Chains A and B, each alone.
Chain A
Amino acid sequence: MSVQAPSRITPVGRITPFRAQRIWEKNYIAYRRMWKVVFSGFFEPVFYLLAVGIGVDAMVGDVTLPGGSAIPYATFVAPAMMAASAMNGAVIETTFNIFFKLKFNKVYDGILTTPMKPSDIAIGEIGWALLRGVLYSTGFIVVMFALGMTESWLAIFAIPSATLVGFAFGACGLAAATYMRSWQDFDLVTLVTMPLFLFSGTFFPLDVYPPLIQTIASVSPLYHGTELLRGFTLGIVDSTMFGHAAFLLVMGLIGAGIANRRLDGMLRK
């Protein structure tokens, strides 16, 4: 049974099954006006890179890799900065921004009164964070190349690797955002990301630490990201990189699963 509609535009039944791209369209429209903010996000990791290249590099000299070869310190740190910025970008986008939309202006409540579903939102927002990440990573690789901090053409694979880092952290960030109660909880986000940033083999090889701490650090997801990216930018590729990639992929899938379930529970109650 059905009721006659006066003048329907959309034929009933025309429902696209995959519609996360609608979220991308919305974000694209919004960000067209805020491109300066997006663009500026690119500079922070570049500033760090320059500080390392100009200042710290001269104090450290060369770093000896486990394989025995020595590389300039800046070349050692650069891929780690790229991995860390992929992490930070994804976490900020999915925690701060999503929390605001979820709790304060209730944008998603409005969206869910249309044919959109919570999973469309979850996939759309994580996907958007990744798209942004690809832009930043590409820019970063160009800067590294210009400063002579890449050792191999394989460095190009650092871009998809950084996207994988973004996926792992973005999905977990979105899951975390659904547990946040107030702005003060964001300090806890920093409590996780800051130690990861500093102790994941970013600024120095893990072997400066005692074995116990090395073991702890080796379960850090950013450590896996850093190793993956560093392998590509230094052109030292081996089978352990599958392990690093698998770690990040599983982490991302778990995060996305939790985020999807939690969003559904929060928005449809």
Chain B
Amino acid sequence: MAESLVEARGLTKEFGDFTAVDGIDFDIHPGEAFGFLGPNGAGKTSTMRMITTVSPITSGHMTVFGLDPTTQGRGIRQRLGVVPQEDNLDQELTVSENLYVFGRYHDMTKAEILPKVEELLEFAQLTDRADAVVEHLSGGMKRRLTIARALINNPDLVILDEPTTGLDPQARHLLWDRLYKLKRDGATLIITTHYMDEAEQLCDRLVVMDQGKIVAEGSPRELIERYAPREVVELRFQDGQQEDAVARLDGLAARSEILADRIMLYTDDADDTQEGLGSRGVDPEQVLVRRSTLEDVFLRLTGRQLID
């Protein structure tokens, strides 16, 4: 068994009566990109905060780099890079000063920090904004700077809490590109997200959390295979005709889901299913065939009423 960078057993976080994280187990191995997926309030951020040692564990057991977060917090944080959900850059400082100051928090010397700052400005494509005060940056630039800041100490483990929430598509793709690069260079990544495409793109392994518990675990491909048939046929009907069609769909797909505005058929062979539609006289206004995604897995596991 590979050594675990982070090992959690029965990890629990309670805030008063509310259980945010409910006895979860996971192992994160060196060099992998590990994802936590889940809707808002599933307990992802609380888990991240326990790993970064800023949130005391209520019960259970966890080690990070083999160290105990309760007593060896400083030693752990020294080897971490953390990208929080909301940017918490120092608005009073410039781009390069934000990087410099974080280097100092990590006890790096000026001689160690300055070349690293240059390198990270390059990495984050912020070299020409080095002396701009953070207040005046765009959302994407701030996000890139927050990520660069997390890398100032060459961390062994980088924790990214919803790294691309609120960014436009260009900025998201640029960020993904930077994260691939990090991973190629050997960093271990922990990513929380509720974007399924992001999880599919970035994560080697992931867990799906819901109401404080882990409800599924595996690689993106494994999860799709386990929880969602290969293809999805989405049908839209003219006003009032959907109800009529529902009765005739019985047994046509592995699973079907009826929504207010459309019907989704989960199937292993979309051609087969479409033929079946024709032979049963179902005549939708619009048919869309697509591969099933992690989103389908996610919705199945964490809610939206399903009919098997």
Contact B93 A3 (CB under 8 A): no
* B104 neighbours in A (Cβ, 8 Å): 22, 25-26
A267 touches B (CB below 8 Å)? yes
Of the listed stretches A112-120, A130-138, A228-236, A240-248, chain B binds: A112-120
Residues of B within 8 A of A (CB): 3, 5, 15, 30, 52, 54-56, 65-66, 73-75, 77-80, 82, 84, 86, 88-93, 97, 100-102, 104-108, 112, 116, 133, 149, 153-154, 156, 185-187
* B108 neighbours in A (Cβ, 8 Å): 9-10
Query: Known interface pairs A15-B75, A29-B100. Does A3 touch B156 (Cβ–Cβ under 8 Å)?
Result: yes
Contact A25 B101 (CB under 8 A): yes
Contact B80 A26 (CB under 8 A): no
Instruction: Give bound CA distance, A251 to B73, whole Å.
Output: 31
Instruction: Give bound CA distance, A219 to B97, whole Å.
Output: 44
Place the interface of chain A in its size category: 35 or more
Contact B5 A3 (CB under 8 A): yes
Instruction: Give bound CA distance, A239 to B26, whole Å.
Output: 65
* B112 neighbours in A (Cβ, 8 Å): 9-10
Of the listed stretches A56-64, A79-87, A101-109, A210-218, chain B binds: A101-109
Min C-beta distance of A90 to chain B, whole Å: 19
Identify which of B3, B52, B187 contacts A113 (C-beta below 8 A).
B52
Q: Secondary structure at chain B's binding surface: helix, strand, loop or mixed?
A: loop
* A109 neighbours in B (Cβ, 8 Å): 54, 84, 88
Interface pairs A-B: 7 shortest CB-CB = A113-B82, A114-B105, A106-B88, A110-B88, A30-B92, A6-B186, A1-B66
Contact B88 A107 (CB under 8 A): yes
Identify which of A29, A34, A115 contacts B77 (C-beta below 8 A).
A115
Closest residue of B by beta carbon distance from A110: B88
Contact A115 B74 (CB under 8 A): yes
* A269 neighbours in B (Cβ, 8 Å): 15, 55-56
Identify which of A3, A10, A112 contacts B78 (C-beta below 8 A).
A10
A40 touches B (CB below 8 Å)? no
A-B contact pairs, 6 of them (CB 8 A): A3-B3, A10-B78, A10-B106, A30-B97, A106-B84, A268-B54
Instruction: Give bound CA distance, A68 to B237, whole Å.
Output: 101
Residues facing B in A179-227 (CB within 8 A) are none
A7 touches B (CB below 8 Å)? yes
Most buried by A among B73, B77, B89, B108: B77
* A26 neighbours in B (Cβ, 8 Å): 90, 93, 101, 104
Instruction: Give bound CA distance, A109 to B55, whole Å.
Output: 11
Contact A113 B84 (CB under 8 A): yes
Contact A9 B154 (CB under 8 A): yes
Contact B186 A2 (CB under 8 A): no
Min C-beta distance of B267 to chain A, whole Å: 44
* A36 neighbours in B (Cβ, 8 Å): none
* B133 neighbours in A (Cβ, 8 Å): 33
Identify which of B52, B82, B90, B102 contacts A105 (C-beta below 8 A).
B90
Query: Known interface pairs A3-B3, A112-B54. Does A30 touch B90 (Cβ–Cβ under 8 Å)?
Result: yes
